[in-house]
Amino acid sequence: MNARVDLFALTGALRGLLPDAARLGGFTRDECLAAMRDLGIVAGSVKRHGVQPGRVVPELIPVLRELGRRTDMVPRDTVLHYCVWNPTGERRRTYTGEAAEHVLQDAVRQAFPRLHAALELGEELSRTEPWQPAFAPLVGEIGAHTAVMVDVIDQVVADVSPEFFARTMRPYFEEFNVDGLPYLGPAAAQVPLWLVDEVVWLSDAGVDEYEQFVLESVPYGLPRWRALHAGWHGAPSAVGRLLTAADGPRRDAVRAGAAALVDLLRTVTTFRGRHLRIARAAYGEDLRLYPVGSGGGSVDLLQEVLLLTRQNARLARERAADPTPTPAARRG
């Protein structure tokens, strides 16, 4: 239907997928997630072809509203619905059916469990001081999980051209309205590396633009991620606590923690550098159809976040070399 730009067929399919009130009321949570996934990919296709889905199928809106309420998520599909909660094989839901689209979906599918594990460790890290023996191993585990982001972006670089993303896929991730409010499509920016940044260095860095991007991304995450953000936002980050940690007899532990943070931030820097190169190509003037990414961030913001990650790695490296505490300061 998308290949034919058959808006009439897409609208009919969307209407035909809608459950009635009785059936919807009997859905389990998993079935609600699946229904949001299936409705979302058709509704997103309608929007890609220039029409607000709620305008041509108004009965869609109360169903999306109820599915969002039942799952405690936004009332439209997210990157989790599109990638992680999407079957493989013949039952895989796609916009185009292209192999490159499968690669994009599988990249998120592969990254999700490792990032989710990193975030759970992040909660423990937020309660652990840099001078405690557990700090460095915790940071190391988070870094090992976060390294999946480098693996998946290498796969994307190898198998997905900037032109395919910019011209073919990006239009399917447009926002559409639910109850008069715009909701973003299933953007890769919803993958919560920004939440790792928050616990590691962002929460107390005073970086207004990136913090605003995080605040706008939080609603698209799992309820668990929103709870972690609520606990971390504005609290001392791992790097912030490292910069003011007393050493004394704990000098070796502080140095080990600093070195572990350097390794973690080096991994994140590697990912962000490759992501920036892809974004510059996909959003270059000769290819782009949109001024910003599907998650609402600009190439300039990606470059700023890369520079800030490098800056925090440098601060951790200096602390590893000299564990004398420094005055707390804004790092943005």
Q: What does the pLDDT read at residue 62? A: 97
What tokens does 136 get? Answer: 């460095």
pLDDT at 293 over 80: no
In 71-162, beta strands by DSSP E: none
Count Cα neighbours of 55 within 13 Å in the Cβ-side half-sphere: 10
Q: What does the pLDDT read at residue 111? A: 95
Average pLDDT value for residue range 19-43 = 97
Using CA atoms, how far apart are residues 201 and 298, in angstroms rounded to an integer?
21
Using CA atoms, how far apart are residues 94 and 83, in angstroms rounded to an integer?
9
Convert the pLDDT of each residue in 105-136 to its tens digit.
Answer: 999 999 999 999 999 999 999 999 999 999 99
In the chain, beta strands by DSSP E: 176-178, 181-183
Convert the pLDDT of each residue in 186-199 to its tens digit.
Answer: 988 889 999 999 99
- The CB density around residue 12, as the number of other CB atoms within 10 Å, is 14
Which three-class secondary structure state does DSSP give residue 2?
coil
Convert the pLDDT of each residue in 232-272 to its tens digit.
Answer: 999 999 999 999 887 677 889 999 999 999 999 999 999 99
Contact 186, 82 (CB under 8 A): yes
- The CB density around residue 80, as the number of other CB atoms within 10 Å, is 22
Q: What does the pLDDT read at residue 326? A: 62
Domains 1-77 and 99-321 fall in the same CATH topology: yes
Q: Which range scores top for mean pLDDT: 74-88, 232-246, 307-321?
A: 74-88
Q: What does the pLDDT read at residue 330? A: 44
Topology annotation, domain 99-321: Methane Monooxygenase Hydroxylase; Chain G, domain 1 (1.20.58)
pLDDT more than 90, % of the chain:
82
CATH class as words, domain 1-77: mainly alpha
Q: What does the pLDDT read at residue 189? A: 83
Average pLDDT value for residue range 44-59 = 97
Residues with Cβ within 8 Å of residue 107, at least 6 apart in sequence: 83, 152, 153, 155, 156, 188
One-letter identity of residue 89: G
> What percent helix, strand, coil does the chain show, rounded to 5?
70, 0, 30
One-letter identity of residue 13: A
Mean pLDDT of the chain: 92
Which three-class secondary structure state does DSSP give residue 12?
helix
Q: What does the pLDDT read at residue 295? A: 61
Q: What are phi and psi of 182, to 5 degrees?
A: -80, 135
Please report, to the nearest 10 degrees, the dihedral formed by the alpha carbons of residues 66, 71, 77, 83 taken in order.
-150
Domain boundaries, the chain: 1-77, 99-321
Q: What does the pLDDT read at residue 294? A: 58
